[in-house]
Amino acid sequence: MAKNASTEIIASDEENTGSSLFESAQETENLGPRLDPNDLFDFQPIDSDDLDSHVETSSFGQLSTDLIPQALSGVQPPELINSLGESEIAFALHEAELHQIIATLDVLFRHIPSQVRRCRLTIDSEKLVWHANHGNAFAEYISYDTHQNISPKQEVPQIVAFDFADLVAAAAATKGLGTFRIAGHESEKSIEFTSEGFSRPLALAKDPHNRKFAYPTDKRVTLLNDVKSSGFVPSDALHSALTFVGKLAAGHPNEQRFELVEVKKGTCRSISAEHAAAATSILFQSLDFSFRPHHLRLVLPALKLSPGYHFTCAKNFCVARSDHRVFGFETVEALLPEAPQANADGVVLLPRHPFMRCLSAAARTFGEENTLIEIDYENLETKKLNLRCFEREKPQRSMLFDAVCAVEGKIKSSFKSKLGFKHLFHSLRQFEASNLEMEVFERKGIGVRFTEKQAEIEYTFLCAGDKQ
Amino acid sequence: MSAEMNSLEINANVISTAESHATEEPSASKVDTSAEGDALDAKASPSRFSNIEFTLPAKQARDAWRAVAAVNDHFCLTLSESCVRFSATNDQCLDLRCTIDPSLKPQLGSIQLSFDVETKGLAALGVIDFEGDVTFKFPDIDLSVGSTGPFNLTIADAFTVNWDYLLTSAAPALAQPHDDKTSECLEEGRLIDPRVLRALINGLRNFAAEENVTGSDFTAMRVEGGSIRAGTHGAACEIESAVIGDISFSIEKNVGRSVGTILGLLAPERTTLCVNGGFQKLSDGRLTLCLRQGGHVPKFPMLSEPFVRIHSDGFVFDEALTRIRAQIKNQKQTDQALVELLLSPNDKTLTFATAVNGGLARVKASIRAEADVVEPTSLKFFHYLLEKLDVSIQTGVEISLSPNGAMFIQKRGGESCDNEGHRTVISTRREKKPSDATLVRDPADK
């Protein structure tokens, strides 16, 4: 069977040009009649200083730049039927950018009543700032005007505000470019939004006291101007860590817990009366702040929108910035107590897949809130671990899982312990290894600790139990 | 009865006291005849069984659980030596039976037991693999009706669920299972493809009224004469399909979801339908669904003579509908929202317009008219009626505009057939007196 020459590229110390690449392959494989690559492609030397003009004037093989979809970002020139009147402002945005704006503002607005979802737009000479605000948190999207497409150029920032639902509806109907035209005089301004085959108004909110729709968070952001930012923090890692600890922090209202998520010395932590969750990574080393768990509903979806952020924290406020997005939220100075540090008496290895399948079945059958777990470890020859999930109200309704497990270290006695189901279940869902490492502590009752290191994050979940 | 009891005595291993159960082999089923039983002959009838167990293939058990869970939150588990049956019924006249031949049969002699069980007790079947077996085990059954007790469900050797039952009957097993409603379907059913029926019901789910709260009696969907039809006041839809040419079937909208789930579980190659006495029976041999025929379905409304017929590309028309619906979706009050269709002969466009915060939103869609010259036309529709319209993007749409409504016609390729004809009629908002006023005032008309 002939080897496929196209998959083999000869390594060379010299830089491979198109022609030499063909010659190298020709030497090692019989490819039939030799073709001159110059007959196929136009290998002209490219002057990198004049790349733009070169793309327009020369052809790269049979491809034309017209065939390549153009990604438009930032402010675009408006598509106007009539010329702009005095005091009118116009600009355009591509539909993809409009959807990004909606997604960004929605992370804050989705949790508040529709009556108070008001979007503030600031137009200045270099950018458009789309701002969502609620209480002590905000989210912003910045559309940069690198080609001076805001018409006319605004020397003094113009600020308008409108209903977010109107912007969502306009964005949903946009095809290609959407043009915003702010028309009318001071007190009767409105935005006429047009796109291909579509038009609608965006009614502007009144500003009777000329406060420019200012919010308290604006001042707090200004106070952070001189504060040094953290290094780049990758969003996916921080999102995984905060998801892991956040479910414990934002538990059921009746549970006793610290209403706090702490990000300090490279560790995200949260603690309740019976559980502690931590996710440690060198990626969070530069972060140092604590916040109330209700801000997770802003932070977690906002992290999904950008590959990474720079965080600036001081004066009980934290601002995260990426290229186009900014979000901010209030922080608190409280600290969590240190989690107990102790060496485990023994480690039990549990097969993760069947164990999690049993927990999933219990969640479906009894409901997450109504389930309790009982771990029964028999320190006999068999080294058997029985897990029993049962309904809180009717303990006779139960689910049994037993596994012969591997044990390291010395667990002195057999034990039986009750653990909370919901947080343990959610935490273990984030684990990926084929075996779960359950460390057992026998001092002062029974406790178990699950630990797993994934990529650059180490997850730890500590569960205190009552010895039966 | 006596013959049955004799065989019972031969087959059953009689034990005298409840205490002795614990010392017996766990796999052997036992029957106790010392105490009195409610449903059986007092002298020969057993009073309790112990260690009754049976095994079902995991996929069949899972399908049976899904089927009964679609009907009610409780189901009846009937055990006899020959078969295991899951059955459920609800107030909406759905009667479901799923009969499975167990690989390990319950040793019950000639006794048939029925238990009432909560469907969520078997919810663990939803997370298991199809391979393997599911074993049900009843450690101890007191045969007095109304007694309760535990049973174990071991799923593919992975884990065990302990749940509880309520005994609803203990009686001699009948040679033929009692089949009240379904036995009325004496004629042999005709083969149908449940997937086609399911797709057609899904296609009409927007048109039948959910409940009879607005004065509408039209809460059903009916298959008849080669088409399926549903409608409410102001809108109706009919799908013609050759595949359902000789099927007669109808259901109420409120059981559409349950029936859809069960249609998805029926075996397509051997599902039959028979109709008799106001009841319909769908069966694939294992799973049998009996349901009452649906109620009123309106006749397909006839519009007055259309003044224009236009054609639009399916994608273009659907996109215009989506764009105008987006303008209404987030409005504070959508119940009375109107959408106006304005046909402009000059630029061959159909404009959708609706009032929004601060003015009017307009969307234009290009069209072709059958006649060269048409007059400017405007029709107003309630948004909640126009929202029911479902347009496929793959074929063109023919639109007939009449003074009292609009008809939308599409030929589509169905799931299991070559051609389906979809006709939808939506009536205009009734005006108290004719008015030329329109929502739309195109700037060019001024």
Average pLDDT taken over every residue of chain A: 81
The answer, for A463 touching chain B at a CB cutoff of 8 Å, is no
The answer, for A128 touching chain B at a CB cutoff of 8 Å, is no
**3.40.50.2000, 3.10.150.10, 3.10.20.30, 3.40.50.300: CATH of B193-292:** 3.10.150.10
Share above pLDDT 90 across residues of chain B, in percent, rounded to a whole number: 36
Are the C-beta atoms of B153 and B65 separated by less than 8 Å?
A: no
Residue A166 and residue B320: Cβ atoms within 8 Å?
A: no
Of A297 and A419, the one with more pLDDT: A297
Average pLDDT taken over every residue of chain B: 80
Predicted local confidence at residue B327, as pLDDT:
94
Residue A311's H or E segment, with its range, is strand A308-314
The answer, for A271 touching chain B at a CB cutoff of 8 Å, is no
Are the C-beta atoms of B393 and B351 separated by less than 8 Å?
A: no
Distance to chain B for A367, nearest Cα, Å: 10
Which residues in A lie closer than 8 A to residue B359 (C-beta atoms)? 190, 200-201, 203
Give the distance from CA B396 to its chain's centroid: 30
Task: Quote the tokens at residue A439.
Answer: 């460390």
Q: Does residue A155 carry a pLDDT above 90?
A: no
Nearest to B272 by CA among B288, B296, B253, B293: B288
Instruction: Give pTM, 2 decimals.
Output: 0.80
Span B308-445 CATH architecture: Roll (3.10)
Are the C-beta atoms of B94 and B154 separated by less than 8 Å?
A: no
The answer, for A202 touching chain B at a CB cutoff of 8 Å, is yes
User: Nearest by CB to B356, which of A200, A357, A364?
Assistant: A200
Provide the 3-class DSSP secondary structure of residue A56: helix
Predicted local confidence at residue B437, as pLDDT:
46
In sequence order, which residues have a C-beta less than 8 Å from that of residue B6 and are 6 or more positions away?
Answer: none
Predicted local confidence at residue B380, as pLDDT:
92
Nearest to A447 by CA among A311, A330, A275: A275
Q: Does residue B77 carry a pLDDT above 60?
A: yes
Which of A30-44, A322-336, B204-218: highest mean pLDDT?
A: A322-336
Interface test with A, best of B122, B312, B324, B330 (most A CBs within 10 A): B330
* Lowest-confidence pick of A389-393, B2-6, B113-117: B2-6
| Domains of chain A, start order | 16-55 (no CATH), 89-203 (3.10.150.10), 234-317 (no CATH), 346-467 (3.10.150.10)
Residue A51's H or E segment, with its range, is helix A51-57
Question: ipTM of this complex > 0.85?
Answer: no
Predicted local confidence at residue B444, as pLDDT:
44
Residue A169 and residue B329: Cβ atoms within 8 Å?
A: yes
The answer, for A393 touching chain B at a CB cutoff of 8 Å, is no
User: Nearest by CB to B327, which of A115, A173, A197?
Assistant: A173
Q: Does residue A4 carry a pLDDT above 80?
A: no
Which residues in A lie closer than 8 A to residue B327 (C-beta atoms)? 169, 173, 200
* Lowest-confidence pick of A125-129, A229-233, B112-116, B332-336: B332-336
Predicted local confidence at residue B372, as pLDDT:
64
* Inter-CA distances, B439 with A87, A98, B337, B354, B360, Å: 29, 28, 12, 7, 8
Task: Quote the tokens at residue B202.
Answer: 């899904």
Grade residue A16 by pLDDT with cuts at 50, 70 and 90: very low
Predicted local confidence at residue B39, as pLDDT:
44
Q: Does residue A255 carry a pLDDT above 90?
A: no
**What is the spatial distance between Cα B117 and Cα B112, in angstroms, rounded to a whole number?**
16
Q: DSSP label at A112? A: S
Task: Quote the tokens at residue A444.
Answer: 């002062």
* Lowest-confidence pick of A87-101, A368-382, B121-135, B279-293: A368-382
Residue A353's H or E segment, with its range, is helix A352-366
* Lowest-confidence pick of A66-70, B205-209, B333-337, B419-423: A66-70
Residue A365 and residue B164: Cβ atoms within 8 Å?
A: no
Domain spans in chain B, listed from the N-terminal domain onward: 2-172, 193-292, 308-445
Interface test with A, best of B159, B331, B347 (most A CBs within 10 A): B159
Nearest to B39 by CA among B6, B77, B5, B65: B5
Grade residue B130 by pLDDT with cuts at 50, 70 and 90: low
Distance to chain B for A163, nearest Cα, Å: 9
Of A61 and B112, the one with more pLDDT: B112
User: Nearest by CB to B362, which of A168, A190, A198?
Assistant: A198
Which residues in B lie closer than 8 A to residue A394 (C-beta atoms)? 164
* Lowest-confidence pick of A299-308, A364-373, B354-363: A364-373
- Output the 3-class SS for chain B: CHHHHHHHHHHCCECCCHHHHHHCCCCCCEEECCCCCCCCCCCCCCCEEEEEEEEEEHHHHHHHHHHHHHHCCEEEEEECCCCEEEEEECCCCEEEEEEECCCECCCCCCEEEEEEEEHHHHHHHHHCCCCCEEEEEEEEEECCCCCEEEEEEEECCCEEEEEEEEEEEEEECCCCCCCCCHHHCCCCCEECCHHHHHHHHHHCCCCCCCCCCCCCCCCEEEEECCEEEEEECCEEEEEEEHHHCCCCEEEEHHHHHHHHHHHHHCCHHHCEEEEECCEEEEECCCEEEEEECCCCCCCCCCCCCCCEEEEECHHHHHHHHHHHHHHHHCCCCCCCCEEEEEEECCCCEEEEEEEECCEEEEEEEECEECCCCCCCEEEEEEHHHHCCCCCCCCCCEEEEEECCEEEEEEEECCCCCCCEEEEEEEECCCCCCCCCCCCCCCHHHC
Q: Does residue A56 carry a pLDDT above 70?
A: no
Q: Which residue of A has its CA nearest to B151?
A: A397
Handedness of CA A349, A353, A354, A359 (dihedral sign): positive
Residues from B contacting A (CB-CB < 8 Å) are 120-121, 123-124, 126-128, 150, 155, 158-164, 320, 322-324, 326-327, 329-332, 356-365
Residue type, B333: Q
Q: Which residue of A has its CA nearest to B366?
A: A197
The answer, for A391 touching chain B at a CB cutoff of 8 Å, is no
In sequence order, which residues have a C-beta less than 8 Å from that of residue A347 and are 6 or more positions away?
Answer: A407, A408, A409, A437, A438, A439, A440
- Residues A261-289: tens digit of each pLDDT: 999 999 999 998 888 999 999 999 999 99
Q: Does residue A49 carry a pLDDT above 60?
A: no
The answer, for A386 touching chain B at a CB cutoff of 8 Å, is no
Predicted local confidence at residue A254, as pLDDT:
63
Distance to chain A for B365, nearest Cα, Å: 7
The answer, for A344 touching chain B at a CB cutoff of 8 Å, is no
Which residues in A lie closer than 8 A to residue B151 (C-beta atoms)? none
Nearest to A4 by CA among A29, A32, A27, A37: A29
Predicted local confidence at residue A381, as pLDDT:
65
Distance to chain B for A197, nearest Cα, Å: 5
To which residue do tokens 């405007």 refer?
A: B378
Predicted local confidence at residue B118, as pLDDT:
95
Share above pLDDT 90 across residues of chain A, in percent, rounded to a whole number: 41
Residue A361 and residue B159: Cβ atoms within 8 Å?
A: yes
Q: Which residue of A has its CA nearest to B125?
A: A361
Grade residue A34 by pLDDT with cuts at 50, 70 and 90: very low
The answer to whether domain B2-172 has CATH 3.10.150.10 is yes
**What is the spatial distance between Cα B73 and Cα A47, in angstroms, rounded to a whole number?**
74
Predicted local confidence at residue A467, as pLDDT:
64
Q: Which residue of B has its CA nearest to A200?
A: B361
* Inter-CA distances, B205 with A403, B210, B283, B413, Å: 48, 9, 23, 19
Residue A199 and residue B327: Cβ atoms within 8 Å?
A: no
Of A239 and A348, the one with more pLDDT: A239
Half-sphere exposure of B172 (CA within 13 A, CB side): 14
Task: Quote the tokens at residue A401.
Answer: 């899982």
Domain B2-172 and domain B193-292 have a common topology:
yes
Residue A163 and residue B357: Cβ atoms within 8 Å?
A: yes
Predicted local confidence at residue B246, as pLDDT:
82
Which residues in B lie closer than 8 A to residue A395 (C-beta atoms)? none
The CA-based angle B23-B26-B31, given to 5 degrees, is 80
- Residues B18-70: tens digit of each pLDDT: 333 333 344 444 555 444 444 444 445 677 888 999 999 989 999 999 999 99
Handedness of CA A362, A364, A365, A370 (dihedral sign): positive
**What is the spatial distance between Cα A368 and Cα A247, in angstroms, rounded to a whole number?**
13
Q: Does residue B174 carry a pLDDT above 80?
A: no
Distance to chain A for B154, nearest Cα, Å: 9
Grade residue A24 by pLDDT with cuts at 50, 70 and 90: very low
The answer, for A169 touching chain B at a CB cutoff of 8 Å, is yes
